[in-house]
Structure 1
Amino acid sequence: MSMTANTPPVETTNTTTTQPADTSTDRRARPLVTVRDLKVRYTDDAPLVLDGVNLDLYPGETVALLGSSGSGKSTLMKALTGFAPVTSGDVNAAGYDVTQLRQKQLRELRSQVGQVFQQFNLIGRLSVITNVLTGGLHNAGPSNWFGSFRSADRKRALALLERVGIADKANAEARTLSGGQQQRVAIARALMQNPRVILADEPVASLDPRMSKSVLELLRSIAHDEGIPVLISLHVLPLALEHSDRIIGLRHGEIIVSGPTPALDAEQLAGVYALEDEEDE
């Protein structure tokens, strides 16, 4: 199913810049992820890692999450799937109230969220197609559990490899591929889940500039064509400006800027990476 990307209204919570209203938003669209006043701390006496974060992710949009190391980007992504504790606030993802889920329900939620990581997390000695097939194990029949994948699943895995541009590598060992190719395998594996949401945590941090651009273009096209919201954690500002529909900037666990990418520029986003001594001047 193909859907056109929707750009939601500018968020104002914890925002230090004023953004123009986005009149192109389809107000009928319902977000697939909704976060309200999220606070996260890992222990009772620890400082807050996230402090009052609000977030909506809409079908078909690509959202870049910017922030320096320690800003809370990874914790926010983990909170969406129950891997980080929710101290207070509301978190709804892919139709699940994350704060109310037991272990079995958490597994169901995680099967609905495709994840792409910096280190690819492939099994190097296995073939590319087998790595992709592992993405569908949560819906696997008994034969799949023992490694004899159904022909329908193999057909789908090959189609996904075609979608990400490396069908010719289906039978190659994953470890023989370049970094950019391995990340494409990881994306195909995530799509094998039939996800409702995709979270990509620093997916191009280990890639060269050319491969980074290629992978981000692929993720954005998937969001647009499949109607899947994609949240991408990045640390390179120009990549966010070029490859997203909306940008959210985190600093010390708070959103300090949020808005449609065309309404933002490098100067407005500079505070996301400001040094501590610069803030005091």
Structure 2
Amino acid sequence: MTTVTAPPPPAARTATPAPLVSVRGLQVAYGDGPLVLDGVDLDLFPGETVALLGSSGSGKSTLMKSLTGFAPITGGSAQVAGHDVGTLRRGRLRNLRADVGQVFQQFNLVGRLSVLTNVLTGALHGAGPVNAVGGFSSADRQRAMALLDRVGIAHKAKDQARTLSGGQQQRVAIARALMQRPRLILADEPVASLDPTMSHQVLDLLQEIARADGIPVLVSLHVLHLALDHSDRVVGLRHGEVLVSSPTAELDAERLAVVYDVSDADQEADDAGH
């Protein structure tokens, strides 16, 4: 009698997570002006850092604004953390914006307030009536201090924000964004005003947060080598259209040159080599 042994079951495959952000055919125009974005597709998955690359005027900032309802969606769709952005009205827009942490080029801190208080303002996105008038719970304060420790600046908690260096202020801004427990982080040119060493440190921190917390980070940059060093994927915009969308490991300066206008390409290639 021959015994037939059933083959072992195939190895379990890790299911691809659903994107937290799904943009399809997105068009944005201001008033009667020309399209600033034209037919943009974009997916952002939990835990990844995506570099949004392009020259000034390529539409990077407008794309980020469209994900939180600050730029008018005139065509296509944008789904962000379960919200259909193009259909949201004021109250629902507040809910969406509470789910999105933002990091800006100019930090947007209140300089005369302490570092700790600046971080605590991130809790106002989910504040009740007490917090809304300026009170913060002990739990909020403990969480804010833990976040300052995470970004390496807890020792500056009592200092006025305006006394910090640019790199330190950006770390405070990142802690403030984390304070609101975001499901997505948008970082619009977060290192444009920082020196090269601090730029790498801040982008390393954002990528670590994405991986450790499972939060997608979309970071707008204009320098090639920073995008290549600190992202999992690169999306390249030129004149409002996506010309590149690939894993970073498959890209180099030559393949990304198409993103830039001729006048910018040589400078960006030089930057990538430094």
The verdict on a shared fold, with TM-score over 0.5 as the criterion, is yes
**Deviation at residue 143 of structure 1 after TM alignment:** 2.9
SS in 2 for 1:59: coil
| Greater Cα radius of gyration, structure 1 or 2 | 2
Tell me, yes or no, if the aligned pair for 1:62 and 1:220 is still in contact at 8 Å: yes
**Deviation at residue 27 of structure 1 after TM alignment:** 4.6
**Deviation at residue 142 of structure 1 after TM alignment:** 3.1
Q: Distance in 2 between matches of 1:228 and 1:236?
A: 23
Q: Does 1:185 pair with 2:172?
A: yes
Q: Does 1:68 pair with 2:55?
A: yes
Q: Does 1:99 pair with 2:120?
A: no
Tell me, yes or no, if the aligned pair for 2:55 and 2:264 is still in contact at 8 Å: no
Q: Does 1:125 pair with 2:135?
A: no
Tell me, yes or no, if the aligned pair for 2:22 and 2:43 is still in contact at 8 Å: yes
* Structure 1, unaligned runs of 5 or more: 1-24
- Runs of 4+ in structure 1 off by over 6 angstroms are none
CA offset digits 1:81-122 (Å, max 9, x no partner): 000001110100011000110100001100000000000000
- Corresponding residue of 2:252: 265
- Normalising by structure 1, report the TM-score: 0.88
**Deviation at residue 237 of structure 1 after TM alignment:** 0.3
Q: Distance in 1 between matches of 2:264 and 2:256?
A: 17
Q: Distance in 1 between matches of 2:224 and 2:259?
A: 10
- Corresponding residue of 1:194: 181
Q: How does 1:72-91 map to 2 (within 5 A)?
A: 72-91=59-78
**Deviation at residue 224 of structure 1 after TM alignment:** 0.2
Q: Does 1:250 pair with 2:237?
A: yes
Which of 11, 14, 19 pairs up with 1:31? 19
What percentage of residue pairs aligned between the two structures are identical?
A: 71
Q: Distance in 2 between matches of 1:42 and 1:276?
A: 26
Which of 31, 36, 57 pairs up with 1:43? 31
SS in 2 for 1:132: helix
Tell me, yes or no, if the aligned pair for 1:180 and 1:207 is still in contact at 8 Å: yes
- Normalising by structure 2, report the TM-score: 0.90
Alignment CA distance shift 1:26-1:229 (3 Å): farther
Q: Distance in 2 between matches of 1:169 and 1:137?
A: 21
After superposition, the CA RMSD in angstroms is 1.4
SS in 1 for 2:73: coil
Alignment CA distance shift 1:176-1:60 (3 Å): same
Tell me, yes or no, if the aligned pair for 1:143 and 1:150 is still in contact at 8 Å: no
Q: Distance in 1 between matches of 2:260 and 2:28?
A: 21
- Corresponding residue of 2:215: 228
Q: Distance in 1 between matches of 2:205 and 2:214?
A: 14
Partner amino acid, structure 1, of 2:145: L
Alignment CA distance shift 1:48-1:214 (3 Å): same
Which of 120, 131, 141 pairs up with 1:154? 141
Q: Distance in 2 between matches of 1:254 and 1:189?
A: 32
The higher-RCO structure (CA 8 Å, 6+ apart) is 1
- Corresponding residue of 1:116: 103
